[in-house]
Amino acid sequence: MAFIKKVDQIMNAPAPGAPVMIKRDVHSLLETIESIYHIKDLDSLLERVLSEARSFVHADAGTLYLAVHKHLYFSYVQNDSLIKQGRARDKYIYSRERLEINKNSVAGYVAATGESLLIDNVYDINSDVSYSFNPAFDSKTSYNTRSLLVVPLITSDDVVLGVLQLINSKNEQGKVIPFSMQDKLYINQFARNAANAIEKAKLSREMVLRLVKLAELRDPYETSQHVKRVGAYSIELYENWAQTHGVSSKEIKSTKDTLHTASILHDVGKVAVSDIILKKPGELDRIEKLKMRCHTIYGARLFRYSSSPWDRTASEVTLNHHERWDGRGYPGKIDNIYATRIRFGPGKKEKEIPLPARIVALADVYDAQISKRAYKEKWPEESALQYIRMQAGKHFDPELANIFIKISDVIQAITQKYSY
């Protein structure tokens, strides 16, 4: 208890002349760390790590980089000032770019040395250090970066997984101020725990993508890039839908965690479909189409024995993502998907189809339209969006279709992030 009290005192001691802010203490730190350990989906975890760190030190913006070989990749970008201006797509603006892990850039220096950096003004960095600030993001977005707090994400085995960069601490009046030593102490402790949580989530994601790879061996169009795009579209679509329906922030975070992984696995049942059907270059005949459609049932059967929210969502999505709003989809209403002989029933319609499946149905069809296949050329994005408009109330939930069109700039940014 003496140790906790001491840390509490250090973290809450005000810096000279600093404004009075919301109380930050070691108990909040422990609660935040505990909350991130319950997140299973990697993308949900990375987004949460960045948002929780920013919230605790009142950072207007931030970037989470992941290390791959000798580079840092922009994994998540958050910026309250840009998002409030209706520029949600800007969080994907740098997602395809990377930095070398060396001592030349701020983030590269932190990854290379394992040292944290506290910079009061990025445009006034001492000339005797090796690193410098790159103003390209500011120029591209008209943002004004000033203060930085940059810490490494290092696991308990001393592996550098990435870098957490927090930008522009703000006081209660909204004025940009330097980050404090207390902020640095908190974020370093948080980052050490976050790195371990990320390491575990990466292992889980790798297992999920191995299942996708199995499906890809059978179906050449079921690629990891395709499912990553479908997953990202689904999360954006759900979050916008949930906000319009007044869903609590806690429920949104929980649902995003399960939906993202379930959407990645939407076609995993194709592993049980014959190669002759999956790789046939021409159109399938009636019997072949029926066998292909059984992949929805095969997929749902994989999640038979667990009662976890993740498995329930995965089962709903794999079974129902080919149902249609107008009831003309498949496999329809089936009494027992585990029966030896399966007969497709009348199609589920409208809200008989679970919301996660209605979301993934739209995301999957859109991505199929903008992707090249053996039997078709890829469609221009505007043509695919026009198809969504035309199929609202027919193939797709009309409310979801309208939201999808509304956030088309974000959808297109995701497409670029996970391009071929």
Give a yes or no: residue 206 inside a domain: no
- pLDDT confidence band for 307 (50 / 70 / 90): confident
CATH of the domain at 150: 3.30.450.40
Q: How many domains are contained in the chain?
A: 2
Of 127 and 351, the one with more pLDDT = 351
Of 9 and 357, the one with more pLDDT = 357
Active site residues: 270
Range of lowest pLDDT (89-98, 236-245, 298-307): 89-98
Residue 214 has a pLDDT of: 77
Give a yes or no: residue 262 inside a domain: yes
Range of lowest pLDDT (152-161, 266-275, 299-308, 389-398): 299-308
The strand pairing partners of 78, in sequence order, are: 62
Q: What is the dihedral of CA 80, 161, 308, 270, to 10 degrees?
A: 100
Of 148 and 31, the one with more pLDDT = 148
Give a yes or no: residue 118 inside a domain: yes
Pairing of strands 148-154, 59-68: unpaired
Residue with tokens 């404004």: 19
SS3 163: strand
Q: What are the φ and ψ backbone dihedral angles of 64, each rounded to 5 degrees?
A: -115, 120
- pLDDT confidence band for 354 (50 / 70 / 90): very high
Is residue 397 over pLDDT 50?
Answer: yes
Of 74 and 107, the one with more pLDDT = 107
> 176 with 63, same domain?
yes
> 242 with 193, same domain?
no
Is residue 420 over pLDDT 90?
Answer: no
Give a yes or no: residue 210 inside a domain: no
Q: Supply the mean pLDDT for the chain.
A: 88
- pLDDT confidence band for 23 (50 / 70 / 90): very low
Contact predicate 233/285, CB 8 Å: no
Is residue 22 over pLDDT 80?
Answer: no
Of 12 and 398, the one with more pLDDT = 398
DSSP 373: B
* Stretch 61-75: mean pLDDT: 93
Range of lowest pLDDT (3-12, 70-79, 134-143, 167-176): 3-12
CATH of the domain at 363: 1.10.3210.10
> 328 with 385, same domain?
yes
Residue 154 has a pLDDT of: 96
Residue 20 has a pLDDT of: 40
> 125 with 239, same domain?
no
The strand pairing partners of 166, in sequence order, are: 62, 149
Measured CA to CA, the distance from residue 259 to residue 248 in angstroms comes to: 16
Neighbour count for residue 342 (Cβ, 10 Å) = 17
Query: Identity (one letter) of the amino acid at 379?
Result: W
Residue 11 has a pLDDT of: 44
Give a yes or no: residue 231 inside a domain: yes
DSSP 318: H
- pLDDT confidence band for 89 (50 / 70 / 90): low
Measured CA to CA, the distance from residue 323 to residue 296 in angstroms comes to: 10
Query: Identity (one letter) of the amino acid at 352?
Result: E
> 177 with 224, same domain?
no
Residue 15 φ/ψ region, left for φ over 0, alpha for ψ in the -120 to 50 degree band, beta for the rest? beta
Q: Is the peptide bond before 331 cis (omega within 30 degrees of 0)?
A: yes
Give a yes or no: residue 319 inside a domain: yes
Of 369 and 90, the one with more pLDDT = 369
Measured CA to CA, the distance from residue 301 to residue 290 in angstroms comes to: 17
Residue 98 has a pLDDT of: 86
> 48 with 145, same domain?
yes
Is residue 17 over pLDDT 60?
Answer: no
Measured CA to CA, the distance from residue 9 to residue 24 in angstroms comes to: 10
> 140 with 260, same domain?
no
DSSP 331: S
* Stretch 313-328: mean pLDDT: 97
Pairing of strands 160-170, 59-68: antiparallel
> 182 with 310, same domain?
no
Q: What percent of the chain has pLDDT over 90?
A: 64
Of 28 and 123, the one with more pLDDT = 123
> 156 with 235, same domain?
no
Is residue 8 over pLDDT 50?
Answer: no
Q: Which residue pairs, CB below 8 angstroms and at least 24 apart, start in 239-243?
A: 240/403, 240/406, 240/407, 241/355, 241/359, 241/399, 241/400, 241/403
> 317 with 187, same domain?
no
Range of lowest pLDDT (23-32, 37-46, 56-65, 343-352): 23-32
Give a yes or no: residue 214 inside a domain: no
Give a yes or no: residue 46 inside a domain: yes
- pLDDT confidence band for 35 (50 / 70 / 90): confident
Residue 218 has a pLDDT of: 64
* Stretch 303-313: mean pLDDT: 83
Task: Kindly provide the b/e burial profile for residues 72-95, where b requires at least 16 CB atoms within 10 angstroms of the residue's own CB.
Answer: bbbbbbbbebbeeeebbbbbbbbb
Residue 207 has a pLDDT of: 86
Question: Which residue segment(s) compose the domain that 386 sits in?
Answer: 219-417
